[in-house]
Amino acid sequence: MSLIRKLILNTVAIVCLQQIAFGQNNNSPYSIYGIGDIEQSSFDRTSGMGHSGSALSSNRFMYNSNPASLSGLDDKFFNFEMATRAEIINYTGNPIAIGSDASSDLQVKKMSLAIKVKPKWGISAGILPYSTANYSFTANKYIQGADNVFVPAYYVGTGSINQFYVSNGYKLFKNFSVGLQSSYLFGQLKQTESISPTYGVDSALVTTRNVVVGSLFFKPGFQYNFKLNNDWRVYLGGTATIKTTVNGIYNLSVVYGNSTLPPPQNTILTNFKNNVITIPPKYTGSLAAKIKDKYTVSVDYSFQNWSNSAIQGVNYKLVNSNFLGIGFEVAKKQRFKDIIFERHFWQAGFFVSNSYVQVAGQQIENYGVTFGGGKNFLKSNLGLQLNVEVGVNGTTNAGLIQENYAKINLILSYRDFWYVKIKKFD
């Protein structure tokens, strides 16, 4: 089987598998706002370092957080990575119903393939999650035109937005690389509102809002490093996503279940195109240092201006978001023939972020710690990364819900020669 055919089959398998995997996710009350919970992890080596390290690259592992890192991969190799995540969430707060204080799931989160086309040029393609929505709650709905009349309503929301990406990284100079990640955002978000029979109405009223989205999304990046002295090397990096208007096709379905009405009159369907949301630019800066090629420290900071968004409601609005991550890594390396081989590494980190959602005057904050490690197998082409994240999302202030969570990420990698020029002798 040719290499091109293998790549096509792998790409199809990635899309199909990821579509199934992303359909399942934990309940998150704040994913009702905007386009859901925006994924913070890149599911790469930065995940164990407090999600910091966008200035770093590796000859064996992919750094999806910065496309410029692809130029650092080993020449004439192809790399394949798959990431899975198990998550457990415990909910606290007055709105939590009895028996609904915990959830858990297991998902495939990333599949990526990278090829070093030329000594200075690397290409990667794959699929990653961008945002997810999954929530359910009951609330009293105000009836317009009636004085102080409320009816019980039940809301359920599901869906996700994923990104199929193609990244290019190129080394312009000895220590300076640039890159561009070109993505296609796709997926759907669905919400169902069910109003129970009341006030003489003998049937439920069910309103379903479904939107299918699809838009291009771009993220350029750069990396630069220099030797400070015999023991220290400093790394600088940055990315900036381009402002993107996410387009979607809305479908509105209103079903009134009164059995006395004939079926054709029970359902009203409306389809129309519209802009779902405008994603503002996101700027990320990264600073890292390696000491004696063994110890690594990194700091990342991100900012995204959501305050100009027109999306807001009675009790919520979108606000500026920011992120700060700090990480530390220790690597053990050894010389094998003429190359230096990294056997394994250990990581730890801390992060704090303010999300783009403010509810009841409270900006939703997420903070936590990460730790983990990885190993390269000398007698095979396999690599393994495992990291754990423990954190808190949200607050119980103002009657809100706090999520106490633990995540375990497992990243499997495989690499092999994809092209070697064979010399022929007569």
**Among 187, 189, 252, CA closest to 215:** 187
**What distance lies between CA 393 and its chain's CA centroid?**
16
CB-count burial class (<10 Å; 0-12, 13-18, 19+) for 74 = middle
E-only strand ranges, 280-401: 282-291, 295-304, 316-318, 321-336, 339-359, 362-376, 382-394
Question: Taking residues 115-129, what's their average pLDDT?
Answer: 94
CATH code of the domain occupying 3-417: 2.40.160
Residue 64 C-beta-side C-alpha neighbours within 13 Å: 33
Q: Where are the beta strands (DSSP E) in 93-149?
A: 102-118, 121-142
Which of the listed ranges 15-24, 126-135, 142-151, 260-269 does the model predict with the highest average pLDDT? Answer: 126-135
Q: Which residues of 327-361 are buried (b: 16+ CB within 10 A; e: fewer)?
A: bbbebeeeeeeeeeebeebebbbbbebbbbbbbee
Residues facing 224 on adjacent strands: 176, 236
- Could you give the 3-state DSSP secondary structure of residue 344? strand
| Better pLDDT: 104 or 43 | 43
Share of the chain above pLDDT 90, in %: 59
Question: How deeply is 144 buried, as exposed, middle or buried, from its count of CB atoms within 10 A (0-12, 13-18, 19+)?
Answer: exposed
Q: How many CB atoms lie within 10 A of CB 289?
A: 16
Task: Inform me whether the pLDDT recorded for 413 exceeds 70.
Answer: yes
Residue that has been written with the tokens 């423990």 in this structure: 390
**So what's the pLDDT on residue 141?**
72
pLDDT, tens digit, 9 for 90 and up, residues 133-148:
998 888 777 666 556 6
pLDDT of residue 2: 47
0.75 exceeded by pTM: yes
Please tell me which of 138-142, 301-305, 307-311 the model is most confident about, judged by mean pLDDT: 301-305
Single-letter code of the amino acid located at 49: M
Q: Where are the domains of the chain?
A: 3-417
Distance CA 194, CA 206 (A): 4
The answer on pLDDT for 163 being more than 80 is yes
Specify the range with the lowest mean pLDDT, choosing from 20-34, 48-62, 356-370.
Answer: 20-34
From the list 40, 62, 39, the residue with the least C-alpha distance to 51 is 40
Q: What is the dihedral of CA 14, 19, 20, 21, to 10 degrees?
A: 80
For 39-93, write each residue's pLDDT tens digit.
999 999 999 999 999 999 998 889 999 999 999 998 888 899 999 999 999 999 8
Q: Which two structure tokens, joined as six digits, stand for 289?
A: 């240092």
User: Is the pLDDT higher at 272 or at 119?
Assistant: 119
Report yes or no: 22 and 37 within 8 Å, Cβ to Cβ.
no
CA distance 301 to 391: 18
Q: What is the pLDDT of residue 5?
A: 45
Look up tokens 């992120």; give the residue.
323
What's the whole-number mean pLDDT along residues 254-261?
59
Phi, psi torsion values for 331, nearest 5 degrees = -120, 140
- Token pair of 104 as six digits: 């858990």
Q: Of the given ranges (13-22, 96-105, 373-382), which has the lowest mean pLDDT?
A: 13-22
Q: Given a cut of 50, is residue 361 above it in pLDDT? A: yes
- pLDDT value at 239 more than 80: yes
Give pLDDT, residue 139.
75
Q: Which are the contacts of 339, defined by CB distance < 8 A and separation ≥ 6?
A: none
pLDDT over 80 (residue 403) = yes
167 versus 200: which is more confidently predicted? 167
Higher pLDDT, 137 or 267: 137
What's the Rg (C-alpha) of the chain?
24
pLDDT score, position 46:
95
Beta-carbon contacts of 171 under 8 Å, excluding residues fewer than 6 positions away, are: 71, 72, 120, 121, 177
In contact, 113 and 125? CB cutoff 8 Å: yes
The answer, yes or no, to whether residue 132 has pLDDT greater than 60, is yes
